[in-house]
Amino acid sequence: MKILVANLGSTSLKYRLFEFEGTEEKLLTRGGFERVTEYPAAIDACLDELKAGGFIQNQQDLAAVGFKPVVARGVTGCVRMDEKVLQAMEDYSSMAPAHNPPYITGVRIFSQKMPQIPMIGLFETSFYQWAPEAAMRYAVPESWYKEGVRRWGFHGASHKFMAERSAELLARPDIANRVRNLYVTKTPAPVAGANLRVVSCHLGGSSSLTAILNGVGICNSLGMTPQAGLPQNNRVGDLDSFAIPFMMRRQNLSTDEVERQLCKESGLKGLSGGFNDMRDIRAQALGNNPHAQLAIDVFVWQARHWLGAYYLEMNGLDGLVFTAGIAENNPWLREQICRNLDHLGIKIDPIKNNQAIGIEALISTDDSQVKIYVIPTNEELVVAREVKRFLENH
Ligand code: ADP
């Protein structure tokens, strides 16, 4: 079974082609196009590349095209991307203005170009379908809540991958299996035995922590939009909502200008004085740039804040996992997040930690109660796996 996973940006199309055979899963090829102005032409070019490489003979060789859409009104999980779903995404376009519009356009064009091929989407909000309401609600009037002002949670594909893999590594095949079938059964299977408590730290271009209880996401530091929790590369993290009317009045800023500054001039870039890549921020901090050091300190503080909250909520922790560009490649940052937590049973091993760069590894000491892992994420593979499960069950 061959599944094409398409990542749609406003001017880019990236793709990966996976093949599943029995228990084997293989990445056959990957590619992409930047500065796309004509989406239909880019889709043709993608299919041409797949044919030229001998990966498919024609589009009928594809069992499905998979997508990773962000958010839609009243829709989540792994679903067929029909017109009803696309309209539900349109309804929330202003919640994810950089993401929803290109996805809606892209999926429509894919459907026109490939009418026989199922278009399947795995929503980023899917992993939080069973989160307790108290964890997801903001204290706003009911009318705001009805419009969608609540915590949704994102990075669902990545955190689900972490849930499944950490359960395997922590010798809980029952939980790994529960995770695998979450979107198929729609109701998480009952759990026998002790709770499995994991915190997943996805730290990259955008960052979030998720509490995972028995394989199910029960809270995520991203909120109603992907502009909450930790400082993101250019986007603000948590912010007191009253800062917005205050600054609008103070500097006579328009709504668009506030949105621009919070999306493009904030986060690590705002704090560090212009650097949005952790490699540059680290180099600047080592060169005694105090703003860059502050950006790192705020990032670490925020990560520990959520880690502490989730530790408390789950009454302890069995696994702490690190993933995505920043967390996979920067041992010094993992060490800072885990510093001084031995009284909570979290002990990082400096040697193992320093050796784990971009690879899966156990990085806690032998006597650490909490097992700490680096687990490289693979969001496209998660999408492909879920699409495969969807096809097998529908
Ligand atoms: P995205 O969310 O855009 O997919 P990534 O998960 O790739 O982003 O994370 C991007 C971040 O990861 C950047 O801040 C970058 O500094 C950091 N990063 C990526 N690769 C490395 C590396 N080899 N060494 C250090 N930091 C890295």
Ligand 1 centre distance from Cα of residue 360 (Å): 16
- pLDDT recorded at residue 10: 78
| 155: nearest Cα among 60, 226, 106 | 226
In a domain, 230, yes or no: yes
Both 174 and 119 in a single domain? no
In a domain, 137, yes or no: no
Both 169 and 245 in a single domain? yes
Last residue of a domain, one of 123, 144, 175: 123
- pLDDT recorded at residue 361: 98
Ligand 1 centre distance from Cα of residue 326 (Å): 5
Rg of the chain on CA atoms, in Å: 21
From atom 22 of ligand 1, which residue's Cα is the shortest distance away? 329
In a domain, 56, yes or no: yes
Q: How many helices (H) and strands (E) does the chain have?
A: 17, 12
- pLDDT recorded at residue 240: 97
Pocket of ligand 1 (CB under 6 A): 204-206, 277-279, 324-326, 329-330
| 71: nearest Cα among 240, 230, 260, 223 | 223
Could you identify the atom of ligand 1 that is nearest to the CA of residue 276?
14
In a domain, 202, yes or no: yes
Both 204 and 82 in a single domain? no
In a domain, 134, yes or no: no
Could you identify the atom of ligand 1 that is nearest to the CA of residue 233?
14
Could you identify the atom of ligand 1 that is nearest to the CA of residue 324?
6
Q: Round to whole Å and give the CA distance between 211 and 44.
A: 41
- pLDDT recorded at residue 144: 98
From atom 8 of ligand 1, which residue's Cα is the shortest distance away? 205
- pLDDT recorded at residue 98: 82
- pLDDT recorded at residue 137: 98
- pLDDT recorded at residue 187: 87
- pLDDT recorded at residue 324: 96
Where is 300: in which H helix or E strand? Answer: helix 290-313
The domain containing residue 218 runs over which residues? 156-379
Both 189 and 250 in a single domain? yes
The predicted-structure confidence for 174-186, as pLDDT tens digits, reads as follows 999 999 999 988 8
Ligand 1 centre distance from Cα of residue 322 (Å): 13
Ligand 1 centre distance from Cα of residue 324 (Å): 7
- Which portions of the chain are predicted below pLDDT 70? none
Ligand 1 centre distance from Cα of residue 62 (Å): 31
Paired tokens of 179: 């995770």
In a domain, 389, yes or no: no
CA distance between the termini of the chain: 15
